[in-house]
Structure 1
Amino acid sequence: MSTGLTPKGTQDVTSPLIPDDDGVVTLSFLLLPDYGMVSLMSAIEPLRIANRLAGRELYRWQCLSEDGQAVVASNGMALQHHLPLCDIPAPRNLFVNASFQPERHTAPDTLNWLRKLRRRGSLLGALDTGCYPLARAGLLKGREVTMHWEAAPVFQALYPDVRVSAELYEIDRGLITCAGGTAATDLMLHLIEQHAGPGLCARICDQTIRSAARPPSERQCQSLAQQHRIHHPRLRRVLELMEHHLEMPLAPETLAHRAHISLRQLERLCRRYLNASPSHYYLGLRLERARQLLRESDLSIAAVASACGFSTASHFCHCYRRRFGLTPGAQRREAA
């Protein structure tokens, strides 16, 4: 019975993975403090299962840290064995694994190391918020990436020259980015299918109690309509418009026009399903985004106000205080 495996010592031409000289693919994971362990395990387990089902070594993996010391994950746990970057000068397939506060955890020497890898033609990847060090190293300008949905607004504000998608994973010319979490399994299943064939990928899905790998276009999180359990098609359209126009908010009349309803009908729908006027609900979305930016970025208060659709910082501060009971400046000091 065929397993769909590529013959030993060869590589599927559609796969972006770069094999070692012996034909085995080694994936290296650079772990940054507070990284998401769920992302790491979700990436490694399909590789382990692939080797077992194939009856031979198709994939190797190794965990790296900047100094070779154990790195504590966001769950407070740490793996025992890490290799220092100086011992692995040129990994061919590297994934940066980060989660909380990634911009605070990358040394200048590591950024230079990432730049050298790009010049040498290594495949670079990122799990969860691993795009941050790649962006700081100047390796993502003009590229399209994805990351965990919660981190995307702050990243986009800090790096406007990088396109951020909502995909589960993106594969773009020697660059692979993934939203993290269990989406890392979907990414690895896709890479295994390209490299070793669909037969092996299907058997891995059986082993992990999955019907199939999710396509990259599947949503990372629930939409506003799903959160509120709203099925009215016109109001769903309005919430979608609000969600995608926080920086340049649309007037209620524009929302109603694009949803093909009257302004009065829009008001009635929002009162019925959201218990708020369209303007009040929309303002709440923008202020929640502002709070996230204040907590997780170093953007100035004026820049946060602009990124959330406020024409002046004073108006932003007034609305913010009414909503949360403290000023944006106090919010930032509290977060610090």
Structure 2
Amino acid sequence: MKTISFALPCYNSAEYMDKCIESILAFCDEREDIEILIVNDGSTKDDTKEKADEWQARHPQVIRAIHKDNGGHGSAVNTGLAHAEGFYYKVVDSDDWLDEAAMRTIMPYLREQAGRSEATDMVVANYVYEKVFEGKHTVMDYANVFPEGREFGWDEVGRFKSSQYLLMHSVIYRTQMLRDIGLVLPEHCFYVDNIFVYVPLPHVRTIRYFNVDMYRYFIGREGQSVNEDVMKGRIDQHLRVTRLMIDQVAIDKEVDSPRLRAYLCNYLSMMMCICAVFLRMIDTPESNRKLADTWDYLNKVRPETYGRIRRSPLNVGMNLPGRLGRGIGLGGYRLARKVFKFN
């Protein structure tokens, strides 16, 4: 068994995948306990397939090229998980990269844990918004939330700020835990990373946090899934992901830790808030109906959680009635963008 599998979903990624792969090779030193799974998700517009094969030929003990029909980001993550031989599993999008110094801090711990019967379920580190075109970057850390220097559980976790969430960028999971819970992300759907960092959490017993800037998240490319105009065009996919999150975690029935319940509730509140923001930006009778239907769905499936989320300050502000309420809500969103540095 290898210590860790890095899965790189690649779709027409030839222009930037080399930097991502090189960032991992920089700290793996050709050690055979690390593997890089280049998952070519049916690329047709460039030479992603050929590049993946070339990388495998150059580093056959470390890199595997996996070619599949196009199924979207979630499908590529699923494929990586199915092929992973690592004790731990980490997804790295092909336009992002990992920090060498940070990973040299984390890897000894992963190697120490690999193969242990009571190994840490989830390892967390910081990520950085890299706004390359603007020459800016913003570090998102968890120093105020997680203890440092030791393993801990959810009852020792502090309060997350409104701008703090665990993203796919910040987590490394124990592979078998993901397989044991049967985690499968939907295909042909954007925003499935929210499921990846939400559904497994009730099954995470132990956590270790490293206060190092591990993941470099490239943001700002035209057509990127977090671009505002793109999100409006893909709002139905965001609604689909939100409903799946509602379906798969019964926050108030199945989650024992009060602190984890609070975090999951806040995360789902954020997802509902994003639904409201972009549907109100679109501002058509159909979009208003979709928003009402989504709230009705939450109330039907999770009535014990509905009131808490509907009354959260985030959603009260974003769901005020009428055109004045819409203006207040969207103004608050644009202010939050500047404060939290997203999009």
TM value normalised by structure 2 = 0.28
TM value normalised by structure 1 = 0.28
More strand as a share of residues: 2
